[in-house]
Amino acid sequence: MSIAAIVVVVLAAILIGAFGIRMSRTTSDFYVASRTVSPLWNASAIGGEYLSAASFLGIAGLLITYGADMLWLPVGWTGGYLVLLVLVSAPLRRSGAYTLPDFAEARLESMAVRRASSVLVVLIGWFYLMPQFQSAGLVFRTITGAPEWAGGLVVAAVVAANVLSGGMRSITFVQAFQYWLKLTALAVPLVFMLLAWRSDGFPGLPPGDPWALPLHGREHPLYETYSLILATFLGTMGLPHVLVRFYTNPDGRAARRTTLVVLTLLGAFYLMPAIYGYLGRVYGLPATDTVVLSLPGRLVGGMGGELLTALITAGAFAAFLSTSSGLTVSVAGVIAQDILRGGVRSFRVATILAVVVPFALAGTARSLPVATVVGLAFAVAASSFCPLLVLGIWWRRLTTVGAMSGLLLGGGLACAAVLATITGGPKTGWMGALLSQPAAWTVPVSFTVMVVVSLLTQSRVPPGVARTMVRLHTPERLNLDRGDWRPRSL
């Protein structure tokens, strides 16, 4: 049954990709057309791309292991959009930037900063893709008994084929549909499981079990909680596949409204993983990333349980495919544009690179919980692009040198911590906490370096900063000179 669900989702993805070839709209056509997309559709598309395996499967597994402190993960992954809304959304849309490197170039008028941003986008994308493939392998093995690399290979191959054909991505409605599919795939089984829980007489935790209490279950709970909060709240704005979707808003005002809807949609979704985690703990299921899949069988059982498991499996594969496609397009675009020479052939090579590297990493790196590794990608984004965006949008005195130093030092330190954690496995003691949750020290380092170096190099303030500020902040209805910069990705 669940195998059939996987086949259906994968076939649907391939078919959509194949139709994409026939439609074969040019990029600019797509952007013109997309201007008519309403905030609800746009927000659903953002949600569809954003809710990855980490949200769909990972949160419940981590909750069972570590208890209430892990509730901060979904809170941060939603609250990140509030920070993004307030500090970034409208100015970012008005900048006209299509990728993060575009924004760096537009604001700082420097190709060097653009290239540094490109490298960071690629690294964040790879750190994010790797756990998606690992997780796909785990689910595939659980369902079919195939070796662990097989599921990752299926997802990687479908995503590469789709991105090469140019299908998947250009259809906002497909990504929007993925959000509603994922929401349904968690909500429907949840209703049946709550009914089963009721007919069991509402079993609870054994008395005296400290699992449901916060600040418990890890070595340095307070540090790790705050670091997690920083990484998730500030990292959301620096994710490469999220930013692109903002471009499909007609103006800054619509970008804000879209973010508001995204926040609502995510809030609705993230009410559920917590209940899955709680039920998993109550019924004593093992704490793995597949706990969400095994819950319906345990609680409902029989044919109904199998059907519900199939539905969840479909949702999980939708999560693997949609997030991976979004990330792969963003990473491949940046590799083709800024690291290779650009053009169609570069994009093909770049797509292969964008998929093969994280796939190889998935095979060699330690198999950590998917939500942990995705959290690390957030930490890198929070320590590099968050300061770049926030200071770039609100502070005129940011200089090229300052931005560059902050990106390299903050992003570099966070990347080093991530690599140490995913290759060496989680270490113990303070060293382990600092490396596995780096945001609490790398984010302040990055902000401080950007500000201090900028103040020391005030002669390097970009000459067009006043015009850029007009571009970023004035409402579109005013007829003003906003400069003639255009993103080169278009």
Give the interface with other proteins as residue ranges (CB under 8 A).
68, 71-72, 74-75, 78-79, 81-83, 85-87, 90, 212-216, 222, 225-226, 229, 233, 253, 256-257, 259-260, 263-264, 267-268, 270-271, 274-275, 278, 394, 466-467, 469-470, 473-475, 477-481
Closer by beta carbon to other proteins, 109 or else 148: 109
Task: Look at residues 444, 101, 61, 46 and name the one whose alpha carbon lies nearest to residue 248.
Answer: 46
Closer by beta carbon to other proteins, 337 or else 436: 436
Closer by beta carbon to other proteins, 158 or else 440: 440
- Quick one: tokens of 136? 């796909």
Closer by beta carbon to other proteins, 335 or else 465: 465
Q: How far is the CB of 233 from other proteins (least distance, A)?
A: 7
Closer by beta carbon to other proteins, 96 or else 101: 96
Closer by beta carbon to other proteins, 216 or else 486: 216
Closer by beta carbon to other proteins, 320 or else 441: 441
In this structure, are residues 111 and 105 in contact, taking their beta carbons and an 8 Å threshold?
Answer: yes
In this structure, are residues 7 and 158 in contact, taking their beta carbons and an 8 Å threshold?
Answer: no
Q: How far is the CB of 34 from other proteins (least distance, A)?
A: 21
Q: How far is the CB of 257 from other proteins (least distance, A)?
A: 7
Q: How far is the CB of 82 from other proteins (least distance, A)?
A: 5
Closer by beta carbon to other proteins, 180 or else 394: 394
Q: How far is the CB of 261 from other proteins (least distance, A)?
A: 10
Q: How far is the CB of 213 from other proteins (least distance, A)?
A: 5
Q: How far is the CB of 222 from other proteins (least distance, A)?
A: 6
Residues 483 and 323: their CA atoms lie apart, in Å, by 34
- Quick one: tokens of 269? 């979704």
Closer by beta carbon to other proteins, 346 or else 474: 474
Closer by beta carbon to other proteins, 204 or else 424: 204
Q: How far is the CB of 36 from other proteins (least distance, A)?
A: 21
Q: How far is the CB of 100 from other proteins (least distance, A)?
A: 20
Closer by beta carbon to other proteins, 95 or else 99: 95
Q: How far is the CB of 71 from other proteins (least distance, A)?
A: 4
Q: How many residues does the chain have?
A: 490
Q: Within a 13 Å sphere around the CA of 187, how many CA atoms are in the beta-carbon half?
A: 10
Q: How far is the CB of 263 from other proteins (least distance, A)?
A: 5
Q: Within a 13 Å sphere around the CA of 291, how many CA atoms are in the beta-carbon half?
A: 29
- Secondary structure of the chain as H, E, C letters: CHHHHHHHHHHHHHHHHHHHHHHCCCHHHHHHHHCCCCHHHHHHHHHHHHCCHHHHHHHHHHHHHHHHHHHHHHHHHHHHHHHHHHHHHHHHHHHCCCCHHHHHHHHHCCHHHHHHHHHHHHHHHHHHHHHHHHHHHHHHHHHHCCCHHHHHHHHHHHHHHHHHHCCHHHCHHHHHHHHHHHHHHHHHHHHHHHHHHHHCCCCCCCCCCHHHCCCCCCCCHHHHHHHHHHHHHHHHHHCHHHHHHHCCCCCHHHHHHHHHHHHHHHHHHHHHHHHHHHHHHHCCCCCCCCHHHHHHHHHCCHHHHHHHHHHHHHHHHHHHHHHHHHHHHHHHHHHHHHHCCCCHHHHHHHHHHHHHHHHHHHHHCCCCCHHHHHHHHHHHHHHHHHHHHHHHHHCCCCCHHHHHHHHHHHHHHHHHHHHHHHHHCCCCHHHHHHHHCCHHHHHHHHHHHHHHHHHHCHHHCCCCHHHHHHHHHCCCCCCCCCCCCCCCCC
Closer by beta carbon to other proteins, 129 or else 292: 292
End-to-end alpha carbon distance in the chain? 44
Q: How far is the CB of 92 from other proteins (least distance, A)?
A: 13
